[in-house]
Amino acid sequence: MSDETRSPTHSVTRLNTGQAAESSFGYARAVRAGNWILVSGCTATDESGQLVGLGQMYTQGRVAIGNIRSLLERMGASLADVVRTRIYVTNLRDLAGIAQAHREAFGDHPPASTLVEIVRLVRSDALIEIEADALIATPPEHEAQSRSQARSVAGRRRRASKN
C-alpha cells in the first residue's frame, strides 16, 4: 500500500508505504520538495514489515539501502542522485560490513556521509538505520515555468526602462 500526497501551495510530494509506523508516528517515508528528495530512516524491513538479516550488519545495510533505492525510484531518482547519507548503527564493531554495503551501493557516486553509533534503534532487533538526501535535476514542467517567469520579469524590466 502506498499513499502519495501533494501540497496545494508548494512543490512538495509526500510518499508513504503504508507501514504502521508512518501513521502512528506521523511521518512520510519520503518527501520531494522541489529538486530535493529526503528519505526517512530506513531499516532492513521487507514489504511485510519483517526485519531481514537478524544479527547481520552487512545484510541489514544492503536491505536498508535497497529500501532507499526503491523509494527514490518511485520519486524519479536513483542512488546516483544521493548527496548525503546518515547512518545510525547499534555497534561499530562491524564497521567493515557497514562500509562494504555502503560502498557497493554507491560505487562511483559516493555521497557525503555521517556514521553514528547509538544505544538502540526503535526496532530493538535492527542494527542499522539509514537516511538519504538526493538532489535531482529540475523537472521539465518546473524548467518551463521558471523560463516563463524569467521572460515575464525581463519583459517588465524592459517596459519599465522605456518609461
> Per-residue pLDDT tens for 129-146?
999 999 998 655 554 454
Residue pair 75/37 in contact (Cβ under 8 Å)? The answer is yes
Query: If residue 32 lies in a helix (H) or strand (E), which one and from where to where?
Result: strand 30-33
Q: Provide the domain limits for residue 65.
A: 3-138
**23 in helix, strand or coil?**
helix
**CA atoms in the 13 A half-sphere facing the CB of 108:** 0
Q: Residue 24 has which C-alpha cell?
A: 502512528
In a domain, 30, yes or no: yes
Tell me if 47 is assigned to some domain: yes
- Whole-number pLDDT of residue 91: 94
- Is residue 70 within 8 Å of residue 105, measured between CB atoms? no
Supply the pLDDT for residue 121. Answer: 95
Using alpha carbons, list the distances in angstroms from residue 154 to 84, 117, 158, 159. Answer: 36, 52, 6, 9
CA distance 90 to 87: 10
pLDDT 10s digits, 20-63: 777 778 888 999 999 999 999 999 999 888 999 999 999 999 99
Q: What is the CATH number of the domain that holds 126?
A: 3.30.1330.40
Q: Is residue 49 part of a domain?
A: yes
What pLDDT was estimated at residue 159? 53
Alpha-carbon gap, residue 88 to 86, rounded angstroms = 7
57 in any annotated domain: yes
Which of 105, 30, 19 has the alpha carbon at shortest distance from 61?
105
| Residue 145, domain member (yes or no) | no
* 156 occurs within a structural domain: no
Instruction: Give the percent of the chain with pLDDT over 70.
Output: 78
The answer to the question of residue 67 being in a domain is yes
Phi, psi (degrees; rounded to nearest 5) at 30:
-150, 150
Strand partners, 36: 33, 135
Count of domains observed in the chain: 1
Question: CA of 4: how far to CAs of 15, 65, 87, in Å?
Answer: 5, 21, 26
Is the residue at 157 inside a domain?
no
Q: Say if residue 155's pLDDT is above 60.
A: no
